[in-house]
C-alpha cells in the first residue's frame, strides 16, 4: 500500500511540474464523520492536494485518516463470547482517493466540486475499494493561504458503510 501512496503522490506532483499554467494546493482538514453501518461516528482528518489545469477543472488527491471505531452492538460477556471476525476492524484506517475537481471563482473565494473520487482503504485488516464525492468552499486571505470548508461522502461497499464528513482547515496555494 505504501507503493500505491507514493505512486499517487509522485503522479500528483509530476503533473504539477509539467503543466503549463494553473495553480496547485495542499490542504490540512480535520473534521467529524457521521457514519452508517458498523463504523461509529468519530474524528476524521485529511491531507488533500490538487492541481488546477485552468480556472475550472483540475485533479484532486487525498489521504483521509479515520479512527476506525466500529460498533459491533452489545456483546454479552461471558455468556456470548465475541467472534474473532467481529473484532477485525478496531484499528484506524486510511482512504487514499483520486478524482477530477471542478471549481468556480467567486471574488476571493472558490466553490469547488469533486465529481467522483475513487479510492482504496489501507491500514485495516481487510482493505477495500471506495468511492465518493465532495463539495466545498475555499477562501484565500492572500495569494498563498486560506481556509477550506468541505463536506464529503464516501462509500465502502464491502464493509456496507456510508461515511458523511464535514472538515474545516487551512489551504496553501502554490
Instruction: Check which CATH number belongs to the domain holding 103 and give it.
Output: 2.40.160.20
At 88 the three-state DSSP class reads: coil
| First-to-last C-alpha distance (Å) of the chain | 28
Query: pTM of the predicted model, to two decimals?
Result: 0.73
Report the chain (174 residues): mean pLDDT per 10 consecutive residues.
Answer: 58 51 88 78 90 89 82 51 52 86 85 89 82 92 92 85 90 92
Q: What is the pLDDT of residue 2?
A: 58
The residue range of the domain holding 139 is 2-173
| Number of independent structural domains in the chain | 1
Q: What is the pLDDT of residue 109?
A: 82
Q: What is the pLDDT of residue 69?
A: 64
Q: What is the pLDDT of residue 54?
A: 85
Q: What is the pLDDT of residue 78?
A: 52
Interior/surface letters 47-73, b for 16+ CB within 10 angstroms, e for the rest = bbbbbbeeeeebbbbbbbbbbbbbeee
The set of cell numbers assigned to 142 is 492572500
Q: Which residue has the cell 484565500?
A: 140
Q: What is the pLDDT of residue 5?
A: 55
Amino acid at each position: 500500500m505504501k507503493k500505491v501512496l507514493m505512486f499517487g503522490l509522485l503522479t500528483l506532483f509530476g503533473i504539477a511540474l509539467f503543466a503549463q499554467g494553473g495553480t496547485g494546493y495542499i490542504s490540512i482538514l480535520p473534521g467529524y464523520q457521521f457514519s452508517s453501518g458498523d463504523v461509529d461516528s468519530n474524528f476524521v482528518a485529511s491531507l488533500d492536494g490538487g492541481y488546477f489545469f485552468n480556472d475550472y477543472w483540475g485533479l484532486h488527491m487525498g489521504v483521509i485518516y479515520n479512527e476506525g471505531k466500529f460498533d459491533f452492538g452489545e456483546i454479552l460477556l461471558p455468556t456470548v463470547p465475541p467472534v474473532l471476525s467481529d473484532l477485525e476492524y478496531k484499528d484506524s484506517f486510511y482512504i487514499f482517493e483520486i478524482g477530477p475537481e471542478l471549481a468556480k471563482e467567486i471574488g476571493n473565494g472558490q466553490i469547488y466540486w469533486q465529481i467522483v473520487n475513487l479510492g482504496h482503504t489501507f491500514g485495516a485488516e481487510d482493505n477495500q475499494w471506495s468511492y465518493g464525492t465532495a463539495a466545498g468552499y475555499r477562501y484565500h486571505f492572500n495569494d498563498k493561504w486560506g481556509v477550506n470548508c468541505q463536506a464529503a461522502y464516501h462509500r465502502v461497499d464491502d464493509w456496507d458503510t456510508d461515511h458523511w464528513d464535514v472538515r474545516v482547515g487551512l489551504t496553501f496555494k502554490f
